[in-house]
A and B are shown apart, each in its own frame.
Chain A
Amino acid sequence: MSSRMRQLRQKQTEATRSTMAHSHGITPEQLKQDNPYLGDLARIGPLAMAAGVVLFVIGFAMTGADQHQRFYFSYIHNYVFFMSISIGALLFTLVNHVARASWSVVIRRIPEFFAGSLWMMGIAGLPILYVVLTGSVEVYQWVDVAKWIDAPEQSLIYNKAAYLNANFFVIRYFVYFAFFWLVGRGLLLNSSLKIDKLESIEDKDKALLKVWQLSAPGLVFSFLLMTVFAIDMIMSLDPVWFSTMFGIYYFAGAVIGFFSMMILIFKWLQSTGRLKEAVTVEHYHDFGKFLFAFVFFWGYIAFSQYMLIWYASIPEETRWFHIRQNADWTPLSWLMLIGHFALPFAFLISRYIKRHNILLACGAVWMLVLHWLDHFYQVIPEYQRVTGTPVGGGLPFAITDIICLLAIGAFWFGAFLVTAGKNPIAPIGDPQIAKSLKFDNVKV
């Protein structure tokens, strides 16, 4: 390096340092005084998990035997909904490590908790394994291949049977939860907590570099397993139908759910006096930008999936949309187009709204509700198809939707709180934390 280069580098370092002096934000030392712990809130964790299990047991027992089938569809609907948020957290943390991002460090611990608690959702999914293994009620129609023997779709089902069978489903289930445990808990959360405790900056840098390097293959395999998860849980509800875009469709929704949840969780944490100074409007602005970008990405993917199937017009592909854009389901299809894409796109395009305290939270609540309805739109029409329920009764909401929402939601949030425990809710010892606290969006 020539001496001129060194001088210039010196100038740039000074420039960065002086910028920090100008803009708002706090120092890492002040962060430690900014209440970065859950404290008593973490004690709710085990209670919430237990409440989720109890609610599930009581809810299932109270539901009449004729409604058990509907219960399972509600269960799958809410299960993939909460899983999507945690998977979004896993992918977000990984992609930030791959990009070596510094802006996100202060908000990274919350997604790390979600990624670290992802393996516990493997317990919440056991009822789905039960129904697949026992076939107690008809949910996944590929479980019993024999009944398709005279159906016109027979060859489609039989050709998929090597993949879509109960034993391989269970194996895959354990593979992706083992992987989520390895990456979410081991690679992301545990290394981040370890870096907090390391003393010397050299050790911290070395440990962080290792996380960065392992995150790249971790990201690739997480994407693959997320695709498999979406295909197994949602797409195979109709064993005839297939869409090569389904994995990315699930991903787009997952990221929307994740960022909406992040906005609301940080608003909630700050309202309870935690991280009040550390997380600034600049971080919310970036959540808003991500949310806006992925609202459009979702629209792009959802439309691409629709248009390719619409254009090709092949019966085994169009059947999925045929149910969803006719009769009772027409309003929900329009709601997806307008409420999940067009309105939030127009709403979140503005910089003013993304930086507004309440308006951004309103957008996040709206997107979370629409994301839940998106999974309703994906899962519940299959219940009508499987059972041959006559159409004409409006959107078939059921009380089991609410029971499963509360049961799995309580379990999921409890798992998050249990994982957080006594740990700091911001990476207070990360080498890049100072940069993240001073993060500032350039005005354009």
Chain B
Amino acid sequence: MSQTDAKTMTIEQPTEGRTFMGYLLEFDNVDDLTAAAQNVRDAGYTNWDCHTPFPVHGLDHAMGAKPSHVQWIVLGIGILGLCTGLFIQWWMNAVVHQGNVVTGYQYFVAGKPFWSVPANIPVMFEMTILFSAFASFFGMLGVNRLPQYNHFTMYSERFGKATDDRFFISISKDDPKFDMNRTRDLLAGQNGTYLEVLED
């Protein structure tokens, strides 16, 4: 890992009478961010995040991010879509009238049997795709706990630069390992440029 020069960090102090929300540490390059992410990960924090203007390869490893659960959601819902596709075709085409109850329509098309799996596969396929697409989109939102009305980084003035040319690590006060002084010392020991105290 290439080392960058040591930076002078500006460290804010908490204001009396305001609700403390968390820390936000600003970096001006990716190397320092990745190194700091490794240190925060090794310190055992769980309720924290990195914010970058573009995807940084290797950062998920540095953060100790575990594989997402979305794939299992997609697999399960996709199989459900497959079965749904098969079921609706069976219900609509292959089920006969039972007594007075009209249960389906037996369309007679080109001499084909009412119940024949080859004819049903395109619909099964499309339903699998549709259900999987919904599962991956909404599953992603759910796993990321989105949409959120508010997030403590929104209290920062500097945070807008996370979409431009700065990199951030945020640690929430709700983290079980969080301690006002020890967490501040950990972050102050990183090669960041500005340690912001987020307050309501």
Contact = CB atoms under 8 A, between A and B. Distances in A.
B58 A22 contact: yes
Interface string A187-208: 0000000000000000000000
Nearest to A304: B122
A443 interface: yes
A18 B34 contact: yes
Contacts of A389: none
Contacts of B125: 300
A439 to B, nearest CB: 10
A22 B34 contact: yes
A11 B65 contact: no
B119 A311 contact: yes
B34 A12 contact: no
A17 B55 CA distance: 13
A21 B110 contact: no
B70 to A, nearest CB: 8
A23 B118 contact: no
B54 A444 contact: no
Contacts of A19: 30, 56-58
B177 interface: no
Q: For B30, B122, B164, which residue has the most chain A Cβ atoms within 10 angstroms?
A: B30
A315 B31 CA distance: 68
Given A18-B31, A444-B71, A307 B165 contact: no
A310 B122 CA distance: 13
Contacts of B30: 11, 14-15, 18-19
Given A15-B54, A18-B30, A307 B67 contact: no
Contacts of B180: none
A22 B60 contact: no
Nearest to A444: B68
A311 B112 CA distance: 8
B41 to A, nearest CB: 13
Given A14-B29, A19-B58, A307 B164 contact: no
Interface string B72-93: 0001000000000000000000
Give the 8 A-B CB pairs with smallest separation, nearest first: A19-B57, A22-B58, A15-B30, A18-B31, A19-B58, A18-B30, A21-B1, A443-B60
Interface of A: 4, 7-8, 11-12, 14-19, 21-23, 300, 303, 306-307, 310-311, 313, 349, 351, 440, 442-444
